[in-house]
Amino acid sequence: MTAILDATARALRDLFSLRVLWVVVWPMLVALLLWLVLGVTFWGTFSGWIAQGLDALGIQAWLTDLEPVWIAHGIQLMAHLMLFVPLVMLTALVITALFGMPALIRIVAGRDYPGLERESGGGLAGSLWNAAIAIVLFVALWLVTLPLWLIGIGVIVPFVAAAYLNQRLFRYDALAEHASAAEMAELFKKERNGWWGLGLLTGLVQFVPLLNLLGPVFAALAFIHFALARLDQRRTSSVG
């Protein structure tokens, strides 16, 4: 637990440095612009999907008869936003993991771990494959657990899903440049509780309005600090 708290404290320290601020901004802007364009272009398609979902839940018929009409329209708009906001956050997380991590790793490693050798155990292909698996399983987790919403347990689903996505998405890229393939496999297994704990802690930020705008980069920094500290500790112990 101490290692997780230390990683998050260091991430908070780095979050507002000038070199990090641009990495905070551009993934969110790209994700927002992307889904804004897609939302406007395919508004009819998205509305149809949402209507089908509401109909499956038995809500659409109720909305059709609801008076005044503006209340029904407001509820439908909220349904669009509930779909739009998670898609923006998910896209920003993936963009940060794939394209923002190298810059953040250079900042953290250059200052806190300048002597840590780079073994390059991962690469772009591995990063893309890891991201694809993370997204597919994240979506599958949501779909499989939808029935739980009917009995109230569904409220824990977003937190579990966010924890899974963060730990799966960021741990690979945080280690890829510095660890060997063998070291990565060992740390993924040995530090499993740490990855999940950090995933849950950073995932909680994504549910806090305004703070969630910083969520992707905060998560990236926290995982970089945790990963490089664990790798450095492992190598030091091996030498000793």
Report the C-alpha gap between 34 and 24 in whole angstroms.
Answer: 17
Instruction: Give the three-state DSSP class for 162.
Output: helix
CA atoms within 13 A on the CB side of 210: 0
Contacts of residue 196, defined as CB under 8 A and 6 or more positions apart, other chains included, come to 163, 164, 167
pTM: 0.80
Instruction: Quote the pLDDT of residue 70.
Output: 46
And the tokens for 228?
A: 């490089």
Mean pLDDT by 10 residues, the chain (240 residues): 86 84 82 82 67 57 54 56 72 84 90 90 89 88 70 75 90 94 94 94 84 86 95 83
**pLDDT tens-digit profile of 140-182?**
887 777 666 666 666 787 888 889 999 998 999 999 999 999 9
CB 214 within 8 A of CB 27: no
Instruction: Give the contacts of 46 (CB within 8 A, at least 6 positions apart).
Output: 39, 80, 83
Q: Which residues contact 122 (CB under 8 A, 6 or more apart)?
A: 172, 173, 175, 176, 177, 179, 181, 184
Task: Collect all residues with Cβ–Cβ distance below 8 Å to 220 and sequence separation of at least 6.
Answer: 23, 96, 97, 100, 101, 104, 170, 173, 174
Structure tokens that stand for 161 in this block: 């899903």
pLDDT digits (tens, 9 = 90+) for 77-90: 565 566 677 777 78
**Cα distance between residue 142 and residue 157, in whole Å:** 7
